[in-house]
Every structure is written in structure tokens, then in C-alpha cells.
Amino acid sequence: MRGPGGALAAFVIAPAFAAALAVLGLIAHLYITDPAAADVPLADYASMAVSVWISALMFAYPVAFALFGPLWLILRSLRLWGGFTALLTGAAAGLAAMLTYLYRVHGADLELGLTGGVPLGELPLADSLFSLTLPLIGAAAGAIGGLVFTSLERAGR
């Protein structure tokens, strides 16, 4: 019996998988960086992870269709970067989805939300780079989702 394959299966499964990876990254980041969060047992994060994942899907699917799909088709038709196309477009889509999600959470105070309430210009270089962790988690999850997408899409050929 063959598993799922083709562009439709790829557009359904890959964003959900990438969103799950991003949620795991968010929870790991929270658990590592917040002293109060470290006191909560990891098992208690399961219900939170499910609700955040469902919320993340609201951003992952629109970004997959609005950004990932057209960019992937354009780069694929130009035959740029070979198999790197899905990785690159997935990272762009994951970054966009994460920034959209963070903007929903923090609103106009997105910069202050990422930097812990301190203006970015007042942070030392190391701390300002650390404030990019969540967007980078989104980009990495999207890149892995792009690889899942291309493997599923190729399986349907």
C-alpha cells in the first residue's frame, strides 16, 4: 500500500508538520528561558501544545498557499537551486508564519515582545541576536516542512 503523495497531500501534511515543529520549538524556548516555566512539568505542556498547534495552523496554511506555493512554483519552474528550492521557500514561509503568529500575540509591541521589553537598540549584541531565536525557530521549522513537502510531492509523481 502506498502512502500519501502528490501536491495536495504535500500541501495538507507539510504545513501541519512544520507548525508542530515550530510549536515544539516555542515550548522548548519557553521552558529553557523562563525560570517560572521550568518549574512546570513538561507533561503539563501537552494540552498547551495542542491549542498552540491549532492556532499555528491558522497561520501555517494561509502562508503555505499565499507565499510558499507561488514561490516554490516560480523557483521550480526556473530550475533554481535544484532540491534546495523547497528548503529555501519553506524557510521563508516558516519565518513569515512565525512573525505573523508573534505579531498576533504581541501586536504592535512585537519588538519589545521579542526582546523582553527592552528596546532593541539598548540591548548588547549577544542579547539582540538571542531575540531572533523565535523567528529562526519558525524558519527552521518551515525549512523542514519544505523538505517534507518536496518528498511528498515527489512521491505523487
Q: What is the pLDDT of residues 66-76, one digit of tens each?
A: 888 888 888 88
Of residues 25 and 37, more confidence is placed in 25
Of residues 102 and 3, more confidence is placed in 102
Per-residue confidence at 1, pLDDT binned at 50, 70, 90? very low
What sign has the CA pseudo-torsion 141, 104, 127, 92? positive
Identify the residue whose cell numbers are 503568529: 101
Instruction: Tell me which residue of 135, 54, 65, 52 sits closest to 100, measured CA to CA.
Output: 135
User: What's this model's pTM, rounded to 2 decimal places?
Assistant: 0.84
State how far the Cα of 71 lies from the Cα of 67, in Å rounded to an integer: 6
Is residue 151's pLDDT more than 80? yes
Residue 21's pLDDT is 94
Residue 157's pLDDT is 62
For the segment 91-142, what is each residue's pLDDT rounded down to a tens digit? 999 999 888 888 888 888 888 788 877 887 888 887 778 888 889 999 999 9
State how far the Cα of 22 lies from the Cα of 15, in Å rounded to an integer: 10
Average pLDDT over the chain reads 84
